[in-house]
Amino acid sequence: MKSFNDIMKGIGGALTSKKFWVELLIMTFGMFMTGVCVYYFLVPSKLIVGSISGLSIVLTNIFNGMGINIGLPMMITIINAILLILAYILIGKEFGLKTVYCALILGPMTKFCEWLYPWQNFATPNEYLVNMGVAPDQAFSVMGNPWFDLLCCVIILSAAQTLMFSINASTGGLDILAKIVNKYLHFDIGKSVSVAGAIICLTAFAINPFQMVVIGLIATWINGLVVNMFTANLNQRKRVCIVSKDYDRIRRYIIDDLHRGCTLYEVIGGYTNEKSIELESLLTNDEFSKLMEYLGKNEINAFTTAGNVSEVYGLWAKDRHRARKHAEKR
């Protein structure tokens, strides 16, 4: 077992690293976005998107109807506390700890939004919701139409979820279930969000009319599609293949400047029948632009092809860390 000093040294190292503070900022901003989504779009309209926030709204209304006064922030915290244990056990310590932080600040973020500018100040009564069976004193809309509320909610929530997934964290709740499905059943993350969300969304029958539940199911489906779209763009990489006599200069630039790895192959030209070296590397779009700029500035004659890669598994991050260490030793 690690000693107390080793543990404290590890904590101190984490607190002084740039990565820790960048990810903390991303998580805090992402949870603010989620708080905005819940407080300004879900609460006034009573829309139940397939999320733990939506389930919390259902349970809060049920308990309040029974005379048990439990606020929405408290309900969110209780449900997330149960799921966080599952996250720590089934997904991993890093994901679990990050999600603990995110889940703990979601309730305070909704309270902060309430303090900042209560939705009652600008939400308007909505006849569309009344016609669907929502009580007139509960039928409000921030955008004037529940479909516009739905669209704003889904876009903001999907962006927040994508930010979290990109740093191995989550907004808590539904995202924990989706991440478990993604890890063990190998569904893509968007489909996992849609399936888990649809199950939760069905609980809205307890407080909402049929039409409202259908709107929520549509929102959940769109949520999964948008998360997939955002995630695909975020994770997209370039597979770059270069044939050049100056392959060693290019290799050095990729390793020493871009801090990426590469692979060399011996190839034979079909037309010339001459042997050449082909260099292959996986780069981000920004790194690919830098590489092409380097080839142009240095007038390196190269035959270059590039294609998009939607997902990368394995040693992507570790390879860059190793390449950077190698460059520092030189």
| Domains of the chain by start residue, with CATH | 4-235 (no CATH), 237-329 (3.30.70.120)
Q: How far apart are the first and last CA of the chain?
A: 35
Could you tell me which of 146, 142, 174, 200 has the C-alpha nearest to residue 34? 174
3-state secondary structure 102-161: HHHHHHHHHHHHHHHCCHHHCCEECHHHHHCCCCHHHCEECCCCHHHHHHHHHHHHHHHH
Per-residue pLDDT tens, the chain, 330 aa: give them. Answer: 445 455 445 545 555 677 888 888 999 999 999 889 888 887 787 666 666 666 777 777 777 777 777 777 777 777 777 777 888 888 888 888 888 888 778 888 988 988 988 888 877 776 666 666 666 666 677 777 777 888 888 888 888 888 888 888 887 777 787 888 777 877 777 777 787 777 777 776 666 677 777 777 888 888 888 887 777 766 678 899 999 999 999 999 999 999 898 999 999 988 888 899 999 999 888 889 999 999 999 999 999 999 888 666 666 555 555 555 555 555
Alpha-carbon 138 to chain mean position:
32
How far is Cα 323 from Cα 263, in angstroms, rounded to an integer?
13
pTM of the model: 0.66
d(CA 180, CA 215): 26
- Reported in sequence order, the residue ranges of the chain that DSSP labels E, i.e. its strands, are 124-125, 140-141, 237-243, 263-268, 275-283, 303-309
What is residue 75's three-state secondary structure? helix
User: Please, are residues 259 and 324 in contact by the beta-carbon 8 Å criterion?
Assistant: yes
Distance CA 217, CA 184 (A): 24
